Amino acid sequence: MVEKENLIHKINGLYKKMSKGQKLIADYILNQYDKAAFMTAAKLGKKVGVSESTVVRFASVLGYEGYPQLQKALQELIRNKLTLMQRIEMTYDLDQSMILQSVLKADINNIKMTLNEIDTNTFLTVVNEIFNAKKIYVLGTRSSAPLAQFFGYYLNFIFPNVKIVTSGVSDIFEQLMRITPNDILIGISFPRYSRRTVEALSFVKNKGAKVVAITDNSLSPLTAHADYTLIARSNISSFVDSMVAPASLINALLIALGLRKKDEVYSYFHDLEKIWDKYKVYLSKDKP
């Protein structure tokens, strides 16, 4: 499949060899790819004045197996560039009575795609790298900040040296200044990708520390600075980011790491339960 960054160049490179109808499609995509990405082959053909079969042949000329593959590449191309207003507009046609089913089905599909696409060997290697790191940094900004905080919160039950890095009073680079080649940074970001997160991964990579990226696509800008990339799908046509699959992936990492230190974790929680009971941190299970 043609990579999304090369799609526009591919169209331009083949433009002179295209038929008149194919050039009409190419012109529309080059100028309105944010709209074309969400059109069916029939609708795109009608828009530019060609047949549906011409649109399908156009996709083949570009090296795709069919129009759905071209459409997916177009969607990946624009996902990081969609503004919140554009993402809201994508939901205008949703049937209000079907929103619950549509959203839950989209999240289920994200988990299924994540399960089918994730590299198990990479997952296990990342578990080893985290386990062996002297200090663990977890970075997430903007909509990914809650994921980083959730991950870091539970990592603190397993490891003594965990630092959650998010935007705040202290600049991100100041929080990462003391990272060493014996440490590891787990960077989390999904469209629209945070520029600061990408810059932080590059900064840490140059300092010699291991870098793990948790993101939505192998073409994500985080991957260029990561030693290991874990893919978790977050596709959803809305202004809301779908973090169900990323959260599930993080749960899997936490459980895998906890099992590696199960005796220590058990002992830690045994002592912690006594403290929670003493200071009444939680509602008593014996009282309503």
Give the pTM.
0.74
Q: For residue 16, give both structure tokens.
A: 């002179």
Give one DSSP letter per residue of 53-95, joined into a string: HHHHHHHHHTT-SSHHHHHHHHHHHHHTT--HHHHHHTTTTS-
**pLDDT tens for each residue of the chain, 288 residues long:** 334 446 777 888 898 899 999 999 998 888 777 788 888 999 999 999 999 999 999 999 999 999 999 988 887 776 666 666 666 665 665 667 778 888 898 899 889 989 988 999 999 999 999 999 999 999 999 999 999 999 999 999 999 999 999 976 568 999 999 999 999 999 999 988 899 999 999 999 999 999 999 998 877 889 999 999 999 998 766 677 789 999 999 999 999 999 999 999 999 999 999 998 999 888 876 655
What domains appear along the chain, each with residue ranges and CATH number? 4-79 (1.10.10.10), 111-278 (3.40.50.10490)
